[in-house]
Structure 1
Amino acid sequence: METKQKISADILEAYGRPGKKELEEVDRLLQKEIGTSGRKIIVLDDDPTGVQTVHDISVYTDWDKGSVEKGFREPGSLFYILTNSRGFTAEQTTRVHDEIARVVEEVAEESGRPYILISRSDSTLRGHYPLETLRLKETIEEKGMVRFDGEILCPFFKEGGRYTLGNVHYVKYGDTLVPAAETEFARDKTFGYHSSDLREYVEEKTKGAFKAGDVTCISLESLRARDYDGIEAQLLRVEGFNKVVVNAVDYCDLKVFCTSLYRALKKGKNFLFRSGAALVKVIGGITDQPLLTREQMVTRHTDKGGIVVVGSHTAKTTEQLEALLTLEKVRAIEFNSDLVLEAEAFEEEIRRVVEECERVMDAGDTAVVYTRRKLLTLEHDTKEEALVRSVKISDAVQSLVARLAVTPSFVVAKGGITSSDIGTKALAVRRADVMGQIKPGIPVWRTGEESKFPATPYIIFPGNVGDATTLKEAVEVLLG
């Protein structure tokens, strides 16, 4: 077990930021590279929270050829495909990524357009890694002429307090940066890990296939020096699908990196990406925009209340739930998710909760449904069994929305698997528009006409984002 130390978050300020003129020049150089690239960016998102840094972008909830072709034809530089693979078994994610890789390569070949493929995953390092990017690499290389020189790891996500410095990935708690492996996220039953140093994380997760000492590291020092040529030279030397770790504590770091990256791509290098949400925004040239207002989100006149569904079990989520329940116009409804072990009782519990939600929303109040706050664990449990049971509970949670006969004024889902199932199963969304964010790192979809509740704002609230009052504040915006 590593023993990386917590450090004061004051270190982030010590790096400072370039001045206004320097930042303008950084932006100009990046936009120049993006403008001449001509590459379509496809982002495979392992849960719906990955759109937490972008706006006016399409997200597709399937990956059939027709959807991928539509994505390629869109005028924008990028689109998302929601895989929800963080809720899959290894076998399922293998099958899905093989299928997506074949479809993307086929559409790209027919369109004659080069592309960048990003595997967007958790900024706290959970998920099917290295399985997903390895399957993409092998399937694409078997099918086409593309050969990948390396894989870029960039879990930085400022809005969620995730920073990488000295090659160590940190999660910000208050005034402290905690090494990721020392957080509750690293103890995840299915996707746990022991290394905060991303070089060691690579070696750990690849079971020694890629050594920590062979990882290419893009340092903060070279990024802040705006050493475009030096960073490009580092990327040009990468081969054998070796790994590249990107340090970052601010968006300006990613802008410098992406400029050098585009230059390396122009010279024939090819990379796959495993990243948090921030890299997607920068590599796609997505602009900043203000946080969304109620008037922008709730566009249908209604006297019904909304619904908030809380599935995540993290300590942060429980703290946020407690703060939310202090609001006047919300009503708490606990869903006894432990009944998952008793089929008949579980079904009866689902019916009870749906009826209670409808009663609350009809009265113009907002129903707040939450699962038991302590994660159900069983003796002699395996990782796969725990994941399957978790998915079964999530399926029941989404059905609470799917069975509603009352149209809510808004829907909020808390937690990755929960939000994915509600979006794709309960709301039956095939394609959604990402409107923007209601709070930093918290995205809002506008549901399509094909969905159960068309043109309804769907707020996807990650389980590990925000502080104690952020969920409460987001609902206050929706309530007006």
Structure 2
Amino acid sequence: MSLPLHARTRPGTPVPEHEVLDGLPPVREVSADEVAARIARGPRLVVLDDDPTGTQTVAGVPVLTSWTVDDLRWALRQDSSAFFVLTNTRSLSPEDAAVRNREVVRALHEASAAEGTGYVLASRSDSTLRGHFPLETDVLAQELARLGAGPVDGVVLVPAYIEAGRLTVDSRHWMRTSGGLLPVGESEFARDATFGYRSSSLPEWVEEKTAGRVAADEVLRITLDDLRGGGSAHVAALLLSLHRGRTAVVDAVCDDDLRVLALALAEAEQQGSRLLYRVGPSFVRARAGQTARAPLTPAQLRPLRGDAPHGLIAVGSHVSLTTRQLDRLRERGSIAEYELDVTLLLDTERREAHIAEVAAAAAGALESADAVIRTSRTLVTGVDADDSLAISRRVSAALVEVVRRVNASRRPAFVVAKGGITSSDTATHGLGIRRAWARGTLLPGIVSLWEPVDGPAAGIPYIVFAGNVGGDEALADALDLLRSA
């Protein structure tokens, strides 16, 4: 008998894709139109996004960075099967993340009753498994029960992100690299200072993250055999077997797999099952009945541009991919680059002067070049996870303040924010965005463009660019497209 792939793989060494993907069951094709018809007039999908990057697989979807009852009622009234609420909880402490989730659900429950519109909740998080799990789904389940919505029967975990190469096969989660597929537990993301982990097998990851509260063998595994062989009716029956908040993990290699799941979820929920979703970006597109769309064109971008000849790029992400993308952007030229020195930002006496100097220089540069504001590339961490988060928030606040001052002085043609926490804080605090529409992407399935509805950023396209997506040329390619508009 041959050993399983993970037993034959040296830690940190990618596996050729064919070793993972060859021999899988044939794809069961399901159209987005079939899903859209199935969910029509059903409950609205409300996506609580722990950073803004979950919008990068959809188009024509409302986005909220505020969760007042009025904001939520506005979103519920829009002609869209789904909308996003940007909670930014990945940047918060566990205690603050719990409070924020409760606030959103309470306001949503009131807005839903006022509008007469039902909803289902998706807790959208990182496709490389970073974030507050199981805390967020635990809190959502508790709050729904407190509000009288009934107990949650199951938590459905679907971290796949197809375009970025985050795939789940036989309940094992992989990420695509230049050398092949790497188990996510062996990636740099698994070594995250705040959300680190060891397991690539999703049932084992659930056991690890719940500190043994949920044993791996208690997790329901919905595999490609179930999705492609059994189809939606079979998967719906599996979902209906979930009770008392049991966790299910779901395979996915392509959008059709997720659309089979979407049909099954709709059927199970129609039969009375109450489910919470903990998902990556691709699930949202499938569950909303959307298909993958081509990137926006220069003609579509042109009417969205702001006043200045050039745009602003704020870079907070520290992952190695972002650093390589910055290197490629420099090679193509036509940028003015300004560094926010983290050591100065953590120095109370020198912080303000440093922020003011960088903001003034970047605003002046917009007449002649795209201005890049980046944090220094050396990652500064704290003594523990909470301390590391606090440092990240302090650095992010400085970057955001620079963006706010630049926009107040000279409105850019566009704003690009690189990194999850960076893009969330820039949207809410740097540009004052409350309501927006996700209009599409600059690259296939990644790099979302928002059109702000109101506030200081109205009339300026805002580009959400995660730190961990795209190839080395992706940032430069996105800028070339924006410049061509």
- State the Cα deviation string for residues 59-87 of structure 1 (Å, max 9, x = none): 01111111111122222111111001111
Q: Residues 315 and 417 of structure 2 are in contact (CA less than 8 Å); yes or no, is this contact kept in structure 1? A: yes
Matching of residue 99 in structure 1 with residue 99 in structure 2: no
Structure 1 Cα separation of the partners of residues 8 and 240 of structure 2: 31
Larger displacement relative to structure 2 (111-120 or 123-132): 111-120
Matching of residue 340 in structure 1 with residue 345 in structure 2: yes
Matching of residue 181 in structure 1 with residue 185 in structure 2: yes
Q: 1:87 to 1:27 in 2, by over 3 A?
A: closer
Structure 1 Cα separation of the partners of residues 36 and 392 of structure 2: 43
Matching of residue 312 in structure 1 with residue 317 in structure 2: yes
Structure 1 Cα separation of the partners of residues 351 and 291 of structure 2: 46
Structure 2 Cα separation of the partners of residues 170 and 446 of structure 1: 33
- State the Cα deviation string for residues 61-119 of structure 1 (Å, max 9, x = none): 11111111112222211111100111111111111111112222233334443211000
Q: Which SS does the other structure have where 2:57 is aligned?
A: coil
Aligned to 1:353: 358
Q: Residues 124 and 180 of structure 1 are in contact (CA less than 8 Å); yes or no, is this contact kept in structure 2? A: yes
Q: Residues 308 and 412 of structure 2 are in contact (CA less than 8 Å); yes or no, is this contact kept in structure 1? A: no
Q: Which SS does the other structure have where 2:173 is aligned?
A: strand
User: Please, which runs of 5 or more residues in structure 1 have no aligned partner?
Assistant: none
Aligned to 2:269: 265
TM-score for both structures, normalised by structure 2 = 0.93
Matching of residue 323 in structure 1 with residue 328 in structure 2: yes
Q: 1:208 to 1:301 in 2, by over 3 A?
A: closer
Q: What is the deviation of 1:430?
A: 0.8
Q: Which SS does the other structure have where 1:122 is aligned?
A: coil
Larger displacement relative to structure 2 (398-407 or 8-17): 8-17
1:58-457 paired onto structure 2 within 5 Å? 58-299=62-303, 300=305, 302=307, 304-363=309-368, 365-378=369-382, 381-404=383-406, 405-440=409-444, 441-450=446-455, 452-457=456-461
Q: Residues 450 and 463 of structure 2 are in contact (CA less than 8 Å); yes or no, is this contact kept in structure 1? A: yes
Structure 2 Cα separation of the partners of residues 425 and 130 of structure 1: 28
Q: Residues 306 and 414 of structure 2 are in contact (CA less than 8 Å); yes or no, is this contact kept in structure 1? A: no
2:386 maps to a residue whose letter is: E
Q: 1:358 to 1:149 in 2, by over 3 A?
A: same
Q: Which SS does the other structure have where 1:438 is aligned?
A: strand
The alignment-based identity, stated in percent, is: 36
Structure 1 Cα separation of the partners of residues 354 and 32 of structure 2: 54
1:119 maps to a residue whose letter is: S
- State the Cα deviation string for residues 247-292 of structure 1 (Å, max 9, x = none): 0111111111111111111111110010001111111112332201
Q: Which SS does the other structure have where 1:370 is aligned?
A: strand
Q: Residues 310 and 413 of structure 1 are in contact (CA less than 8 Å); yes or no, is this contact kept in structure 2? A: yes
Q: 1:13 to 1:179 in 2, by over 3 A?
A: closer
Q: Residues 164 and 249 of structure 1 are in contact (CA less than 8 Å); yes or no, is this contact kept in structure 2? A: yes
- State the Cα deviation string for residues 25-56 of structure 1 (Å, max 9, x = none): 55454333212x51111100111111010111
Q: What is the deviation of 1:12?
A: 6.1
2:82 maps to a residue whose letter is: L
Q: What is the deviation of 1:344?
A: 2.2
Structure 2 Cα separation of the partners of residues 47 and 347 of structure 1: 27
1:251 maps to a residue whose letter is: D
Structure 2 Cα separation of the partners of residues 120 and 470 of structure 1: 23
Q: What is the deviation of 1:401?
A: 0.8
Structure 2 Cα separation of the partners of residues 150 and 34 of structure 1: 20
- State the Cα deviation string for residues 283-332 of structure 1 (Å, max 9, x = none): 11123322012332242474521111110000011010100111231122
Structure 1 Cα separation of the partners of residues 167 and 64 of structure 2: 29
Q: 1:246 to 1:310 in 2, by over 3 A?
A: same
Corresponding residue pairs, total: 471
TM-score for both structures, normalised by structure 1 = 0.94
Q: Which SS does the other structure have where 1:52 is aligned?
A: helix
